[in-house]
Amino acid sequence: MPFLTAAVVLVGALGALNLVLVLGVVKRLREHSALLAVRRGAPSADLEVGTRIGEFETVTEAAEPLTRASLTEAGDLLVAFLSPGCAPCVEKLPGFVAHARSLPGGRRRVLAVVVGEPGEAAAFAAPLGPVAQVVVEEPNGALSRAFGVHSYPTLLRIGPDAEGRPVVTSNAVDLTRPTAMAV
């Protein structure tokens, strides 16, 4: 009997250990999947001019609701997808903030989407608050899906098409030249 008890305990312990290891592997695997998805992300240049923006519903950091219909209410919109994990984004951030500040129409005409782990992303998004509408979301969040953006930094300009639906009007945004946008 004691042998049997010992054997059952041993088998149980082995099973538990196995479970712990498998859960660890599953967690790591998910991290890898996320990394792969980021790596395989299409370059933003293949978001062609004229691409329609999908339906979405989200909230900005200032808790303003944002939907596809409200995107281009104020006219053309500069959209930046940034991620705290990408070196070029960190480099470009001050330039982008300065550029956004120089735009006529103020923060209603700029949308910054910061994609990443909420804590990091919120800290990264702090300087953007005064100059842009900021949305912080996880990878593959509502806006990433609606725009089809998986690589960072992605800069786009969008405007209403003939039917008033928002479409990509430029995928080569130059941050160095303040542009006068037609209202």
What is the contact surface with another protein in residues (CB under 8 A)?
12, 16, 19, 23, 26-27, 29-30, 33-34, 36-37, 54, 57-59, 63, 117-120, 122, 136, 138-140, 142, 145, 148
Rank residues 122 and 167 by Cβ distance to another protein and give the closer one.
122
Structure tokens at 22: 């498998």
Rank residues 34 and 172 by Cβ distance to another protein and give the closer one.
34
Residues in contact with 71: Cβ distance below 8 Å, sequence separation at least 6, in sequence order: 53, 77, 111, 158, 166
Rank residues 6 and 29 by Cβ distance to another protein and give the closer one.
29
Rank residues 24 and 94 by Cβ distance to another protein and give the closer one.
24
Q: How far is the CB of 175 from another protein (least distance, A)?
A: 28
Q: How many angstroms separate the CA atoms of 89 and 71, rounded?
A: 23
Q: How far is the CB of 75 from another protein (least distance, A)?
A: 26
The identity of residue 131, as a single letter, is V
Q: Burial, 21: exposed, middle or buried (Cβ in 10 Å; 0-12, 13-18, 19+)?
A: exposed
Q: How far is the CB of 99 from another protein (least distance, A)?
A: 27
Q: How far is the CB of 43 from another protein (least distance, A)?
A: 16
Alpha carbons within 13 A on the beta-carbon side of 17 = 6
